[in-house]
Structure 1
Amino acid sequence: MYVWQKIDSKDHSAFLSKLGLDTARKDNLISALSAAEKQVKAVIDTPLMLTLFVSVYTDVAIIPSTIPEFFEKIFHVLAETHDGTKGLFVREKITGLTHGDIREVFSCISYVSKEKLNKSNLTDDEFEDCAIEAKKITGINVNPKTLKTELVETICLLAKDGIYTSYIHNSIQDFYVAYFIKSQNDVDFIKGFYESMHEVDVASYTKWQEAIKF
């Protein structure tokens, strides 16, 4: 599957058929997608994001009304219990971390990679540097290489793209940047972050503008 190949509504039926869905289930999913909020539809623009929508809708039978809700459901489906296209099964964590720890360290990596590199596609060395920094910040001990494998092969929020490891959608990085910031209990950190946005140049402000929408 080509993660970044763009698709639109006219491609949905054919792609869902390729997933092996029967006509009734396919029509139900197309109707559900048509009824989704505009902002949710906007991020379902690749084969992988459509597959994740299938998994989320199959899991909860409710259309997420916002992007944050959609991304929360994606994490639940991928990290915890089952893939809606394949049936119920337990996903084993090769890192040995709980899904809460994985979410915490992943959100920290998202913040560090945005803050230090302002990019969503990372070389092996860049990912390792971000993961090491995330370990220091969160106190969660995990091997960077094992973590990367977990995020690519089990959690599936990152994907290999040639020499890079990339977020499957730029908005996922922004969402988890926001998740990290909101989860901080350090008042000085939060105050410093928002104050810095009034002091930096336009280019620096731009890198945070999508994250703060969450």
Structure 2
Amino acid sequence: MSKEELAAPIISKIKESKEFDFSVLDTPLMLTWFIIIYNKKFKIPKTKLGFYEDLFGAILSRHDGLKESYNRASKSRLNDDEIKEVFSALCYITRKSQDSLFNFEEIKDYIRQALNITGYIKVESSDYLYDLTNVTCLLKKDGLDYEFIHESVAQYFSAHFIKETSEENAIEFYTSRIKNCKIFEDEL
């Protein structure tokens, strides 16, 4: 089968889609993940939110995309839901501090905070960092620094953390946004 024949169904579905915001596909990596998700579900997500939910599942369960039933071992020994929970907390913490580029010590400190918030205090931050950079690739290392694979991924999972927080924390969060909505503008 030629490349054109392989691409035809997805191009057709993209042309038919009226709801999905394709602006999220602004890097080769995000486009690659979009195609992997499409090949798994054979449909275009209706929203960016749907894309991010599908993205997380695809990254964790099929990181290598085309290798059937290949799962990498988690060094932190956290399951998929736990990795997502800690990752959401990490995104929230870093977005709150308005940091997007981290050195090794900074990212380990943020991860430690996220692990403490979520109750996984026995997990080593360096093990979770390994999972983020080598298993999920949601965090990438560029020279001596670390950053999220895409700013919108950090925004989405920060919003996910806010959504899943207790009612008491949600009230505090939204009350504080009245005075300053700029920090979490994209999450809101």
Same fold, TM-score > 0.5, yes or no: yes
Determine if the alignment matches structure 1 residue 161 to structure 2 residue 147.
Answer: no
Kindly indicate whether the alpha-carbon contact (under 8 Å) linking 2:62 and 2:68 is maintained by their aligned counterparts in 1. no
Determine if the alignment matches structure 1 residue 57 to structure 2 residue 38.
Answer: yes
Cα 1:88–1:22 change in 2 (3 A) is farther
From 105, 120, 131, give the equivalent of 2:100: 120
Shift of 1:42: 0.3
**Number of residue pairs the alignment of both structures matches:** 187
TM (normalized to structure 2)? 0.90
Residue in structure 2 matched with residue 173 of structure 1 by the alignment? 154
Kindly indicate whether the alpha-carbon contact (under 8 Å) linking 2:20 and 2:44 is maintained by their aligned counterparts in 1. no
Kindly indicate whether the alpha-carbon contact (under 8 Å) linking 2:20 and 2:45 is maintained by their aligned counterparts in 1. no
From 13, 18, 26, give the equivalent of 1:45: 26
Amino acid at match of 2:184: W
Kindly indicate whether the alpha-carbon contact (under 8 Å) linking 2:62 and 2:69 is maintained by their aligned counterparts in 1. yes
Supply the RMSD in Å over aligned alpha carbons. 2.0
Instruction: Give % identity.
Output: 30
Amino acid at match of 1:198: I
Q: Distance in 2 between matches of 1:94 and 1:43?
A: 30
Instruction: Give the 5 Å matches for 1:75-114.
Output: 75-81=56-62, 83-114=64-95
Residue in structure 2 matched with residue 129 of structure 1 by the alignment? 109
Q: Distance in 1 between matches of 2:155 and 2:165?
A: 16
Q: Distance in 2 between matches of 1:56 and 1:177?
A: 22
Residue aligned with 1:159, SS: strand
Residue aligned with 1:193, SS: helix
For each residue in 1:131-176, what CA deviation from the matched residue of structure 2 results, as whole angstroms up to 9, or x when unmatched?
1111221111321122112112211211112222111111111101
Residue in structure 1 matched with residue 184 of structure 2 by the alignment? 208
TM (normalized to structure 1)? 0.80
Residue aligned with 1:165, SS: strand
Kindly indicate whether the alpha-carbon contact (under 8 Å) linking 1:114 and 1:120 is maintained by their aligned counterparts in 2. yes
Residue in structure 2 matched with residue 73 of structure 1 by the alignment? 54
For each residue in 1:86-132, what CA deviation from the matched residue of structure 2 results, as whole angstroms up to 9, or x when unmatched?
4332232222110000000000011111112x022222111111111
In structure 2, stretches of 5+ residues that fail to align are: none
From 95, 107, 118, give the equivalent of 1:138: 118
Shift of 1:39: 5.0
Kindly indicate whether the alpha-carbon contact (under 8 Å) linking 1:152 and 1:158 is maintained by their aligned counterparts in 2. yes
Q: Distance in 1 between matches of 2:17 and 2:145?
A: 32
For each residue in 1:17-49, what CA deviation from the matched residue of structure 2 results, as whole angstroms up to 9, or x when unmatched?
xxxx83321222333334445653101011100
Amino acid at match of 1:137: I
Amino acid at match of 1:151: L
Kindly indicate whether the alpha-carbon contact (under 8 Å) linking 1:79 and 1:154 is maintained by their aligned counterparts in 2. yes
Residue aligned with 1:208, SS: coil
